[in-house]
Amino acid sequence: MSDVERWCPDALWEIAAPLIPPAPVRPQGGGRRRVDDRAVLAAICYLTQAGCSWWKLPEAMFGVTRATAHRRFAEWTEAGLWPALHLAVLQRLQALEVLDWSRAVIDSIQVRAEKGDLTGPSPVDRGKPGSKIHAMVDRGGLPLTTAISAANTPDAAVLLPLLDGMPAVSGRVGRPRRRPDKLHADKAYDHKALRAEVRRRGVIVRIARKKVESSQRHGRHRWVIERTMRYRRLVRRYDRYADHFAVFTNIACALICYRKLVKHPK
């Protein structure tokens, strides 16, 4: 098996290939032969899982230069490839009845950041600069949607944008799903107005109440997020631009869901 096939298996390429925008055509013709899209995608998947920065990409493994991989990454990001890839995998999981909408869990993960926008002093890391990954996962821990903020952003401020940003997931008979039946969250989200807004969207609220409920009760459900978001590329933020870090989060979500897809008996 080649490195390209290892990091971008046939099943993943089958999903991604129709979503990749066509190569731009030079009006005057000529030019260099375009590097294979699958090799570039494999290199980007490697970066996501290995956790290294762009300048450490092993060019010889994929036959792709760092400049080409970064340029194609920017082109595909602008074309909206990564959220489309994540959604395509979610739709296949939905068709197989793997997604469990009976309960969703929302929480955030602190990430040390080198520099860039959407960074702030981390309240859990001695005030060092950092960012947050906000994630909503289904009952089994499959990531449904994510968002990026500065480390000092209150979790409650991101709950509604995260919930409303969930794309419609089709794949089964009936209306596409955009909302879980119940939403679990810890005390950081305990606001009366927030509870009311979640209920208004037709979702049952299971938010721990301050000074009333033990944080340990929510811990029975929260662990699925910490188990899910373990990709090395998400442990430390190297990207200057938050949009790029958000893209790698998106790619990680697609790969996590893809792994579940290939393990599920058809």
How does pLDDT run across 61-71, given as a tens digit for each residue? 999 999 999 99
Residues 6+ away with beta carbon under 8 Å from 116: 237, 239, 240, 241, 242, 245
The average pLDDT across 159-178 equals 90
CATH of the domain at 212: 3.30.420
Q: Are 30 and 116 contained in the same domain? A: no
Q: What are phi and psi of 153, to 5 degrees?
A: -75, 130
What burial letters (b/e) apply to 64-73, b meaning 16+ CB within 10 Å?
bebebbbebb
Q: 104 and 147: one domain?
A: yes
Bridge partners for 45 per DSSP: none
| Confidence label for 254 from pLDDT (cuts 50, 70 and 90) | very high
In the listed set 48, 78, 108, which residue is the last one of a domain according to the structure? 78
What pLDDT, on a 0 to 100 scale, did the predictor assign at position 46?
A: 94
In a domain, 215, yes or no: yes
Average pLDDT score, the chain: 87
In a domain, 95, yes or no: no
Is residue 94 in a domain?
no
Range of the domain at 203: 100-263
